[in-house]
């Protein structure tokens, strides 16, 4: 047989699994093994071969995270790290972090949908994917050497504004250097809404809407999927996320609650009522 000169690792298992806290060990292994063990085995078996390229098809979920598919995201992050490790050994490697593939790929083959569909204007078409793959194989893009990661499909603040796209959840991550004007405007609108409410019931409804939107963005799902009659913990909200939500409540709803109250067994609507009762944004005459 002719010598092996290159590898494209495309193995993946994409499960419609639960939020991280509820992922079983079998679900975790099913999604991580093809990427972790599969990529490592290829690395070990081909060390003695003079490869011209070693490409791993990864995903932007390993960069920005995915609470509903944390196992899949972890496998992709591993591939990003393995590419860096191989480069340090002076071996060829690149991890291609793909965004939403349009018309081809895992999601298209399964006929399914994804939260990234909301940003379809920045999806990747087949011809664009071929150009990415060509660059990964040759090791350069427009005469510039490639980094270990090729991140594609993430919208910028300018693209969001020009194409009126839905604000991605990761734009609220302080590590993201993006224009936060949209978020500040939303928060100002929320504060102004609370300032003119005529009853505690109205204040609670406004806060419920804001909580549902915030939680939906964190869980990368549609707002209509968040049921206000359920408690936060039913959505797999862990203590780390609860701290973030508590801080958001303090800063933007001007209400100070204990972490116990945020993670309590009461419904989301009940939590909104407790916030309204102590919020400085709600007219004092109503409280």
The CATH number of whichever domain residue 197 belongs to comes to 1.10.1200.10
**Over the stretch 147-161, which tens digit does the pLDDT of each residue have?**
899 988 777 777 766
The verdict on 10 and 127 lying in the same domain is yes
The verdict on 15 and 128 lying in the same domain is yes
Residue 43 pLDDT more than 80?
yes
The verdict on 142 and 191 lying in the same domain is no
Give 136: exposed, middle or buried? Use CB within 10 Å, 0-12, 13-18, 19+. buried
Tokens of 188: 């100002």
Q: Could you give the angle at the alpha carbon of 69 between the alpha carbons of 63 and 70, nearest 5°?
A: 60
pLDDT for position 25: 87
CB atoms within 10 A of CB 35: 28
pTM of the model: 0.59
The verdict on 64 and 193 lying in the same domain is no
pLDDT for position 124: 77
Q: Is residue 147 part of a domain?
A: yes
**Over the stretch 245-258, which tens digit does the pLDDT of each residue have?**
888 888 888 889 88
pLDDT for position 120: 40
Q: Is residue 82 part of a domain?
A: yes
Mean pLDDT, the chain, integer: 81
The verdict on 23 and 106 lying in the same domain is yes
At 163, is the pLDDT very low, low, confident or very high (cuts 50, 70, 90)?
A: low
pLDDT for position 16: 61
The DSSP annotation for 9-47 comes to E----------GGG--HHHHHHHHHHHHHHHHHHHHHTT
Domain of residue 98: give its range.
6-153
At residue 23, the 3 state secondary structure works out as coil
pLDDT for position 287: 72
The verdict on 103 and 16 lying in the same domain is yes
The verdict on 214 and 271 lying in the same domain is yes
pLDDT for position 56: 96
Tell me how many domains the chain contains. Answer: 2
The verdict on 10 and 148 lying in the same domain is yes
């Amino acid at each position: 047989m002719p010598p092996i000169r290159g590898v494209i690792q495309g193995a993946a298992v994409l499960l419609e699994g639960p939020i991280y806290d509820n992922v079983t060990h079998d679900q975790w292994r099913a999604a991580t093994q093809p990427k972790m063990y599969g990529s490592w085995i290829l690395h070990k078996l081909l060390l003695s071969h003079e490869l011209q390229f070693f490409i791993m098809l990864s995903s932007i979920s390993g960069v920005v995270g995915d609470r509903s598919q944390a196992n899949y995201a972890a496998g992709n992050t591993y591939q990003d790290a393995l590419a860096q490790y191989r480069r340090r050994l002076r071996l060829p490697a690149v991890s291609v972090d793909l965004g939403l593939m349009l018309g081809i790929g895992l999601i298209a083959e399964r006929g399914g949908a994804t939260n990234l569909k909301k940003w379809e204007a920045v999806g990747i078409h087949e011809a664009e994917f071929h150009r990415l793959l060509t660059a990964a194989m040759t090791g350069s893009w427009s005469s510039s050497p490639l980094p270990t990661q090729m991140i594609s499909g993430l919208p910028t603040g300018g693209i969001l504004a020009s194409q009126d796209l839905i604000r991605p959840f990761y734009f609220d991550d302080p590590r993201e250097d993006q224009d936060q004007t949209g978020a500040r405007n939303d928060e100002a609108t929320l504060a102004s809404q609370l300032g003119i409410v005529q009853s505690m019931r109205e204040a609670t409804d406004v806060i419920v809407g804001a909580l549902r939107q915030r939680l939906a963005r964190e869980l990368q799902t549609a707002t209509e999927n968040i049921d206000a009659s359920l408690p936060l913990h039913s959505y797999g909200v862990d203590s780390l996320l609860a701290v973030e939500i508590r801080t958001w409540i303090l800063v933007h709803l001007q209400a100070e609650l204990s972490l116990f109250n945020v993670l309590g067994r009461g419904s989301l609507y009940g939590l909104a009522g407790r916030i309204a009762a102590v919020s400085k944004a709600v007219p004092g005459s109503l409280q």
